[in-house]
Amino acid sequence: MLEIAFWGLLGLLLIGPLFMNLVGPFIIWRTQKIPTIVQFEPLSDDDFFTRCTEGVPYFDEQMMDAGFVVVGNSSLHDSHTDTYFRVYWHEHLKLAGTVVGISATNQPDLTYCEFSQKFADGRWLNVLNGNRPEAYPRLPIKQSFQFPEVLVVEQLLSLHAQLRQRLKGDLQPVDYQAEQGFAEITAFLREESDALLDKGLVKPEIDADGKRSLTLYGAFTMTWRSVWPGRVIAMAAKQRATKRWLQGG
């Protein structure tokens, strides 16, 4: 009797993950699309702080204290997710910063801080403290590192500086054209979508909303990175890679 109860309980525990890993990709394939040509609509500070997640002001204050100036606020919306951006620029460091607040269906709100720097080799170096693995696999246009335990902006800046020294050496960063607002982010999203196309994760056609549909392979890849156990594996692998680079590997 106990054995039957045990296997019954185990089956119930596995139903959710099995469904998400086997059926979830087909749902994502049919419903999700990747932003490719994005027209950001600026938001005033009042509108932004009214709509964004609760954690945004915490990082915003630290960004201002660290010497960043605000470039602007905007948002992206799809059928499942509302994402709010506040973009900053640090002239002395030649470093762009973003505070992101995400509200998604059936998930707790996520707020994180990210630093982005483009270099003469055409690649970006990104450091963020988000606690979820990125939806996309590694792409040739950027190197991205996560420190979910670091909630202090100055510490995250220090980690970015360490990684920049190890990975970029004497390569010069490219200026962010702050006066152009979100033009740089718009260009990056197109570049990112093209990189996903090269990997076979999205289809080449761009619809009237400026989005590309996922291939079935892309839907499986993105789903497995966002649900258990793939989410845990992806995050652990990124943490190991981060430690290796910081230690000089």
**pLDDT digits 0-9 by tens, 155-178:** 999 999 999 998 888 888 988 776
Tabulate helix, strand, coil % of the chain (nearest 5). 45, 25, 30
Backbone phi, psi, residue 104, to 5°: -125, 150
**Residue range 70-74: mean pLDDT, rounded:** 93
How far are the Cα atoms of 145, 146, 230 from residue 236, in angstroms, in the given order? 12, 10, 10
Does an H or E element contain 126, and which?
A: strand 124-128
**How far, in Å, CA of 244 to CA of 43, rounded?**
40
pLDDT tier, 21 (very low <50, low <70, confident <90, very high otherwise): low
Q: Which residues contact 168 (CB under 8 A, 6 or more apart)?
A: 119, 121, 125
On whether the CB atoms of residues 76 and 67 are closer than 8 A, the answer is no
What count of other Cβ atoms lies within 10 Å of the Cβ of residue 11?
10
Residue 200 burial by CB count (10 A; 0-12/13-18/19+): exposed, middle or buried? exposed
**How far, in Å, CA of 76 to CA of 84, rounded?**
7
pLDDT tier, 6 (very low <50, low <70, confident <90, very high otherwise): very low
On whether the CB atoms of residues 86 and 104 are closer than 8 A, the answer is no
pTM of the model: 0.85
**Nearest partner of 148 among 58, 242, 82, 56, judged by Cα:** 242
| pLDDT in the model for residue 196 | 96
- Cis peptide preceding 229, ω within 30 of 0: yes
| pLDDT in the model for residue 11 | 41
Question: Is the per-residue pLDDT at 5 higher than 50?
Answer: no
Average pLDDT taken over every residue of the chain = 86
